Amino acid sequence: MAKHGAARDDARSHGQMRGAGLRRAPAKKAHQLDRLIHERLRLGIVSALAVNESLSFSDLKKLMGTTDGNLSVHARRLEEAEYIACSKSFEGRMPKTQYKLTATGRRALERYLDHMEALIRATRDR
């Protein structure tokens, strides 16, 4: 059984199977996806900020259904890429962290969505 699977894999890698060229087209577009945004939680953060002027850490945590640590790590990655901006202040004695999507982040999200739409169109057109 493994022998047949190996032959099929070998034929696929050499483009000998029927329609092999068609299967590679979406894969080429997939390489254009922004890997930073493609991660589920980061995509959620950027998407939430795209439709809100700003969101607090607490709001994002509730929306994403994640932990403080997980949100902090992913928000920091987006901040380092300058996709989001972070501002810290105090309300009374309580610290408040606000996030906002930057122009760079908005362009990155738009490119990501364009690539996803192209992949979907290529897949549906078959």
User: Among residues of the chain, what percentage have pLDDT more than 70?
Assistant: 75
Cα distance between residue 47 and residue 49, in whole Å: 5
Q: What is the DSSP string of 49-107?
A: HHSSS-EEHHHHHHHHT--HHHHHHHHHHHHHTTSEEEEEEEETTEEEEEEEE-HHHHH
In tens, the pLDDT along 87-116 reads: 999 999 999 999 999 999 999 999 999 999
Domain boundaries along the sequence of the chain:
34-124
Per-residue pLDDT at 2 exceeds 80: no
Q: Which of 3-7, 26-30, 50-54 has the highest mean pLDDT?
A: 50-54
pLDDT at residue 28 in the model: 54
CATH class label, 34-124: mainly alpha
Which DSSP letter does residue 13 get? H
Per-residue pLDDT at 125 exceeds 70: yes
Helix (H, G, I), strand (E, B) or coil at 30: helix
Hey, which residues does 91 pair with through a beta bridge? Answer: 94
Q: Report, as an integer, the average pLDDT of 54-68.
A: 97
| CA dist list (Å): 88 to 39, 55, 58 | 25, 12, 13
User: Among residues of the chain, what percentage have pLDDT more than 90?
Assistant: 66
Helix (H, G, I), strand (E, B) or coil at 6: helix
